[in-house]
Amino acid sequence: MTLKIEVREISTENKEWHELVHSSRQNILFVDQRFLNIWTTKGTSNHLMLLGCYDESGCLVGGQAIIHRKFMGLRIQGSFNISYRCTPILAGHIRENSPEQYEILSALARVTRKKFPYLKVEFHPNLTDTRAYLNNGWHAEPQYAHTWDLRNVDNILQNMHRKKRSYVRKALETYEFNVERDKKIIDEFLRLYTETMAKFSWCPNENWSESFHHKANWLLDEKLLLPCTCRAKTGELISVALVILSPENRTAYGWLIGYDHAYASYEIPASLQYYSATILAANFDVLDLGDGPNANLFAYKDSLGTASHPFWVLTTKDTKKWIKVLDFLRDTRQSLQKLFRQRIHAFDS
| Sites of contact with another protein (CB under 8 A) | 78-81, 97-99, 102, 128-131, 134-135, 139-142, 144, 159, 197, 200, 202, 208, 211, 292-295, 298-299, 302-303, 305-310, 320, 323-324, 327, 330
- Closest distance of CB 307 from another protein, Å: 4
The nearer residue to another protein, 135 or 283, going by C-beta atoms, is 135
Q: How far is the CB of 305 from another protein (least distance, A)?
A: 6
- Other residues' Cβ atoms within 10 Å of the Cβ of residue 223: 10
Q: What angle do CA 138, 139, 144 make, to 5 degrees?
A: 130
Taking the C-alpha atoms of residue 181 and residue 319, their distance in angstroms, rounded to an integer, is 39
Q: How far is the CB of 1 from another protein (least distance, A)?
A: 10
CA distance 90 to 99: 13
Name the region of 73 (left: φ>0; alpha: ψ -120 to 50; beta: rest).
left
Nearer Cβ to another protein, position 140 or 179?
140
Instruction: Give start and end residues of each alpha helix (H) in the chain.
Output: 15-23, 33-39, 99-115, 131-134, 153-159, 162-174, 184-198, 206-221, 268-280, 295-303, 319-348
Q: Which is nearer to another protein, 62 or 305 (CB)?
A: 305
CB of 293 to another protein, least distance (A): 6
Give min distance, CB of 12 to another protein, in A: 20
Residue closer to another protein (CB basis): 48 or 323: 323
Cα–Cα dist 37/269, whole Å: 31
Pairing relation of β-strands 46-54 and 139-149?
unpaired
Q: Specify the length of the chain in residues.
A: 349
Shorter beta-carbon distance to another protein: residue 60 or 256: 256
